[in-house]
Chains A and B, each alone.
Chain A
Amino acid sequence: MDAIQTHLLSYMIFSPLAGATGILLVLALRRLIGFPQEQVDRAARMLALVFSAIPLALGLWLWARFDGGAIGPQFVEHAVWIRSFGIEYFIGADGLSVAMIILSSLISFIATIASMPWFIHDDEHGHGPVHFSKRMVPGYLSLLLLLEAAMVGVFASLDFFLFYVFWELMLLPMYFLIGIWGGPRKEYAAIKFFLYTLAGSVLMLLALIGLYYASTPMPNVPLRLVDGTPLQHTFNMLSLAQLGAHHLWEHQAPLLGLSFARVVWIGLFIGFAIKIPMFPFHTWLPDAHVEAPTPISVILAGVLLKMGGYGILRVNFGILPEATRYFADALAIFGTINIVYGAFVCLAQKDLKKLIAYSSVSHMGFVLLGMAALTPQALSGAMLQMWTHGIVSAMLFLIVGVIYDRAHHREIEGFGGLAARLPEYTALMGLAFFASMGLPGLCGFISEFMVFQGAFPVYRTLTIVSATSVILTASYYLWTIQRMFLGKLNEKYKELPDVNWRERLTLYPLGALAIFFGFYPQAILGTFNRALEAMSHTLMGRF
C-alpha cells in the first residue's frame, strides 16, 4: 500500500503508457504468431479498458487521501533528471492540480468506454464509412492511452520543463486521433489544431527559458536540487512562485520596452489562451470538435481546454503575480467577450456539435472572468467551473455522439419530436443541457454563481454583461430542445433505437456527478479552496 501511496502519481502517468506498450506488443505478436485481426482488436480493447481504469482507481484514491487543508504538494516524487539545467522529475498534487488530475483520469476512462464498438453500424450492412471504433483499433487505443498519460503528466508536473514536455507530448496523439479517425474534414481540423497549439507553445518555451535565466537564489528562497546541490537557476515551479512572490522579476532589465515580467506573462499566456480557447484564438476549436470522433471530443472539451485554465493559474498567476495584476482587466474583458460572443454564436449554429463546441467557448469565458477578479471566491468559482464544465461538456459531446451514430448527421433542424421515440435519451440530454445552462440543483449553477458573486465587486459592468449570457444560454439550449425533441416526429426516425448499455455506462455516471456536485460541491471545493485562497492573497498583495 505504501508503495502505491508514494508512487501514486507515477503510476497514474505510466500505467496508460504500459497499456499502450502492451497493445503494441500484441500487435507485434500478431506478426509473429498470426492472430486473427478480431482477436487483436479485442485484446487491445481489454488492455485499454484495464489500463485506463487503473488511473481512475488511483485518482479516486488520491481524492480520498488528499488533505485539502494542507498547503504545498502531496504525493510528491522528486528526482534529478538533467543536472546541467537543474531539471527534475518533480511531480505532485496540490490544491491547484488535484481536481484536474482526477478529472483527466475520469474523463479518459469514460472516453475509453465510448471508444468501444456497440450495436450494428451501417458499415456492417455494407454502406457508409467504417465506424471509427472499428478502424485500426490498436493504433487508436494506444494513442488514446498515450494522450491520457500526457494529460495526467501536465497536471502533475511541478517542474516547468517536465510540464512543457508533457504539454507537447499531448499534441502528437491528438493530431493523429483527429486526423485518422475524424470526420470528412479531418486533415484540415487536425493540422489547424496542431499549428495553433504549437505556435502558442513555442512562445511558451521561450518564456520558460527566460524565466529560468531570470531566476536566481534569494536570501529567503534558496534554490536547490532535491539532492541538495545548490542551483543558480531553476525550473522548479514552486521555487519560481516563491521568487515571484518575493518580487524578483521586478529587478529584471526590461525587454523590448516592456517590463520583463509582462513580456514573459504574454509569452506564456498566448500558449494557454489558445488552449482555453480565448477569443480571438478560438477558431481551431469548432473545427477540431466537429471533425473529431466522439471520445476525442469528450477529451478535448473535458480535459484539454482545462489545461489552458490550469496553466494560467499555475504559471501566470502563480509565478508572475505583479504582471497578473497588471493584465487582470484585459483578462476580464476577454473573458466577457468569450462568454457573450460564444453564446451569440451558439444561437446561430445549425450543427448540434458545433453548438456544443461554441458553448464551450462561452463557458470557458467564465473561467477567465473568475480568474481575472483575483478574489478567493472568484478563483474558486473559476476552478469549479473547469471541473463542472469538464463533466458536463463531456456528457454533452457523448450525447451528440449518440444521435450522430444513429442518424449520421447532426443538423438540429433535421430532427423533431424525438422525445416520443427516445424518452431516455431526451431525459439525459435535458439533464446535460440544464446542467450546462446552470439550473439550480445542478453543478453548472454553483460554479457560475460563484464566479458572478466573486467577480461582481471587482468588475461590476463586465459581470452584468456576462450575466446576460445566462438568458442567451437558456435560449439556445431550450430552442434546440424544442427543435429536436418536441413537435412532430420526423418520419425518417421513427425506428431509432434508444440509448444502449455502452452509452448508459458513460452517460449515467456523468449525469449522477452533475447532480451530485449541484448539491454537494464541497466534495471538490474542499481540495482547492485553501490553495486558491492563499494564491488570491499573494495576487492581491496581502501576505
Chain B
Amino acid sequence: MNPLANAQNLASLAYFGPETVLTVGVLSLFVLDLVWKRHPKRVVPLTAAMAVVLLASAVALAISPLQPVALFNRMIVSDGLGTFFKWIFLATAAYTAGIVAHSDEIPSERLGEFYALLLAILLGMDLMAVSSDLLMVYLSLELVSMVSYALAGFRKHDSRSTEAALKYVIYGGVASGIMLFGISYLYGLFGTTDLMLLAPKVRAFSGGLFLQTTLGQSPAAQLAMVVAVVFVLAGVGFKMAVAPWHMWCPDVYEGAPTPFTAFLSVGPKAAGFAVAVRFFGVAFTELRGDAFVNTTTVPWPAILGILAAVTMTLGNLTALGQTNLKRLLAYSSIAHAGYLLMGLAAASVLGFQAVLAYLAIYLFMNLGAFLVVTAIAQRTGGETIAEYRGLIKRAPFTAIAFTIFLFSLTGLPPLAGFTGKYLLFAALLERGGGWYVALAVVGAINSAISLYYYARVVKAMVLDKPVTEAKVAMPGTYGFLMLGSVAALFLFGLYWTPLYTVTQAATRSMLRQ
C-alpha cells in the first residue's frame, strides 16, 4: 500500500490494536476496581487483570501489521519506529506493575486506580510514539502529563508527594504551553501541523523560494523558525528531563511513590525521545545514505549537542553531592538524558539507532536500580545512602544486583550500559569533525565523573560495615525481576548484534513521507 494513500478511519483500526486493547483495559480496570473495592484479597485479581491487559496488548503489538502506513487521516502512523517504542513502554509498564504489586507505598484499596492510570499513561506514550501530527503530539503528551500529575501526588496525605505533584503541574503546564506556542508558529509559517507535509515545505523554506514568495523578510522568518523549534523542544525536553527543563525532576522523583518514580524515569523520558526522533527525523531532515541531513537553516544538531553537554555535566556534577538515593538517581537520569541527546545530535541512522538501543538498555538498568530502592525503602524505611551500609551482608543477592545496575549505568563492560555508550560515541565519531569529537570528549569525561557517585553507593553497600546484621527479605517477584534485569544487562553487554539489527530496522522504517 502506498503510505500516502491514507488509511481511512475504519481501515485504520486494523493497525490500532495495542491502543484499542489499552483503552478497553483502562476502562475495565476502573470497573473491576469498583467491583472488588471491598474484597479483602483484591490485590491478586487486580494484578491478574493488569497482567491480562498487558499481555493482550503485547499480543496485539506482536501481530500488528508491519508495513508503514499513515492512519486516521494522517494523525498517526504505524511504523517500525513506533512499534519499537511501544515495546519499550510496555516493558516499562509491566516492570512497574511488578514492582507495585509488592510495594506498600500504594495502599491495596487504591491499587486498581493506580493500575488503570498506569495503563492510561501507557496509552498516551504509545500515541506519542506514533503521532505524526503536531496536534496529536501535543494531545498525547498532555494525556501522559495529566495522568502523571495524578500519580505523582498519589499519596494524598504525604506532603512531599503533594508538593511533587504541584511542582510537576506547574512546570508541565508552562512547558506544554510553550510547546503549543511553538507549534502555532510552525503552523503560521507553513500552514500545516502534519510532520510529513511539513518536511517538503521546510526544505523549500530553507531553499529560499518560500521566503521570497510569501514572507519576504528572511531574517525574521528565520528567527521565527528557530523559536518554533526551541519552543517545541521545551515540551519534549520537559518529558525527557533535559536541562534547562529538568528542574522538576529531582523533587518529583523524590516525592512521588517510588514505583511510579521508576516508571517516570524511563517511560515518559523514552516517549520524549520518540517524539524528538520523529520530529527531527521526519520534518527537518533528508535521509542521505546514513546521515539525516539537516534541511533547514536551524542548527538543531548543534542546539541538541550543546543541550546534551550542559545536561549531562549538570546532572553528573549535581549528583555528586546527593545523599538521598531517589534524588541521586534523579540527577543520574538527567545525566542519561544528556547522553541520549548526543545520539540525536549526531543526526545519523547510527545516532538515532543508538538512542533506541540505549533506551532499551537503560530500561533494565534504571528500573532495576529503582526496584532495589523501592525494596530497601520498604524494608528499612529509608532512602539515604546510609541505609545501604553493609547491604552485602544483609541481602547479598540484592547488593550484587544493585552493584551490577550501578556499574552498568556507569557504562563499564561487559555490562549493557557500555554497549549503549559505545553506540552513542560511535555515532558521534562516525560523523567526525571537531565539534562532534569535542562533544564525545565531554561525554566520556562525564561518564568517568559519574563513576564517583555510583561507586559511593557501591562502597556503602560492599565496603562499609552494616548498622545491623538483620537480613533483608525480598519478595520472590523482586528477585525474579532483578535476576531478569541482570541477565538482560549481561546479554546486551556481551552479544548485542540482535539489538543493533532491530534498532537499525526500526530507525530505517520510520515513515517519512
Q: A interface vs B, CB < 8 Å?
A: 81-85, 164-165, 168-169, 171-172, 175-176, 179-180, 186-187, 190-191, 194-195, 198-199, 202-203, 205-206, 209-210, 212-213, 253, 255-256, 263
Contacts and interface: CB of A to CB of B under 8 A. Distances in A.
Contacts of B412: 168, 171-172, 198
Contacts of B445: 199, 202
Contacts of A256: 434, 437-438
**Considering residues A203, A205, A212, which has the most beta carbons from chain B within 10 angstroms of its beta carbon?**
A205
A169 B462 CA distance: 18
Contact of B459 (A164, A179, A213, A253): A179
Give the secondary structure class of B's interface. Answer: helix
Interface string B462-474: 1100000000000
Given A83-B497, A186-B463, A191-B452, A202 B429 contact: no
Contacts of A164: 413
A190 B464 CA distance: 13
A180 B440 CA distance: 34
A255 B434 contact: yes
Given A82-B496, A176-B462, A206 B434 contact: no
Given A172-B412, A179-B463, A202-B445, A255 B437 contact: yes
Contacts of A263: 437
Given A84-B501, A206-B440, A210-B437, A253 B455 contact: no
Interface in B419-451: 421-422, 425-426, 429-430, 432-434, 437-438, 440-441, 444-445, 447-448, 451
Contacts of A165: 413-414, 418
Contacts of A169: 413-414
B462 A180 contact: yes
A3 to B, nearest CB: 24
Contacts of A81: 495
Nearest to A162: B413
A31 to B, nearest CB: 10
Given A84-B500, A179-B462, 12 more contacts: A81-B495, A83-B497, A165-B414, A168-B413, A180-B463, A186-B463, A191-B455, A191-B459, A198-B451, A209-B429, A253-B432, A256-B437
Contacts of B455: 175, 191, 194
B399 to A, nearest CB: 12
A187 B459 contact: yes
A171 B403 CA distance: 14
A190 B451 CA distance: 12
A84 B418 contact: no
Interface in B46-94: none
Interface in B389-432: 407, 410, 412-414, 418, 421-422, 425-426, 429-430, 432
Q: Give chain B's interface residue range (CB within 8 Å of chain A).
A: 35 or more
Contacts of A85: 426
A172 B407 contact: yes
Interface string B355-381: 000000000000000000000000000
A172 B412 CA distance: 9
Contacts of B426: 85, 209, 212-213
A420 to B, nearest CB: 41
B497 A84 contact: yes
A95 to B, nearest CB: 27
Contacts of A175: 455
A521 to B, nearest CB: 37
A442 to B, nearest CB: 40
Contacts of B414: 165, 169
B412 to A, nearest CB: 6
A517 B425 CA distance: 45
13 contacts: A165-B414, A169-B413, A187-B463, A194-B451, A198-B410, A202-B445, A203-B441, A209-B422, A209-B429, A212-B426, A212-B429, A213-B429, A213-B432
Closest 3 CB pairs of A and B: A202-B444, A199-B448, A165-B413
A198 B448 contact: yes
A202 B413 contact: no
B444 A203 contact: yes
A157 to B, nearest CB: 12
Contacts of A213: 426, 429-430, 432
A202 B418 contact: no
B463 A82 contact: no
A255 B437 CA distance: 8
Indicate the member of B414, B430, B434, B444 with the most A CB atoms within 10 Å. B444
A199 B445 CA distance: 7
Nearest to A210: B429
Nearest to B450: A198
Contacts of A190: 459, 463
A209 B413 CA distance: 15
Contacts of B422: 205, 209
Listed residue (B432, B463, B504) with the most chain A CB atoms within 10 angstroms of its CB:
B463
Interface string B501-513: 1001000000000
B182 to A, nearest CB: 35
Contacts of B497: 82-84
A82 B429 contact: no
A14 B190 CA distance: 62
Contacts of B448: 195, 198-199, 202
Contacts of A82: 495-497, 500
A187 to B, nearest CB: 5
A30 to B, nearest CB: 12
Given A176-B462, A180-B463, A168 B441 contact: no
B228 to A, nearest CB: 33
Contacts of B438: 256
Given A168-B412, A191-B455, A205 B432 contact: no
Contacts of A205: 421-422, 425, 444
Contacts of A199: 445, 448
B464 to A, nearest CB: 8
A206 B444 contact: yes
Contacts of A253: 432-433
B257 to A, nearest CB: 33
Interface string B336-349: 00000000000000
B208 to A, nearest CB: 30
B445 to A, nearest CB: 7
A168 B444 CA distance: 14
Nearest to B441: A206
A191 B504 CA distance: 38
A169 B413 CA distance: 6
Interface in B476-513: 495-497, 500-501, 504
A167 to B, nearest CB: 9
A253 B426 CA distance: 18
Contacts of A210: 429, 437
Nearest to B464: A187
Contacts of A83: 497
A175 B451 CA distance: 12
Contacts of A209: 422, 425-426, 429
A189 B437 CA distance: 32
Nearest to A191: B455
Task: Choose among A169, A187, A198 the residue with the greatest number of B CB atoms under 10 Å from its CB.
Answer: A198
A275 to B, nearest CB: 15
Contacts of B463: 179-180, 186-187, 190
Q: Which has the most chain A C-beta neighbours within 10 Å: B410, B413, B447?
A: B413
A165 B426 CA distance: 15
Nearest to A175: B455
Nearest to B427: A209
A88 to B, nearest CB: 13
Interface in B131-172: none
B43 to A, nearest CB: 30
A392 B346 CA distance: 50
A91 to B, nearest CB: 16
A180 B403 CA distance: 14
Nearest to B430: A213
A191 B425 CA distance: 25
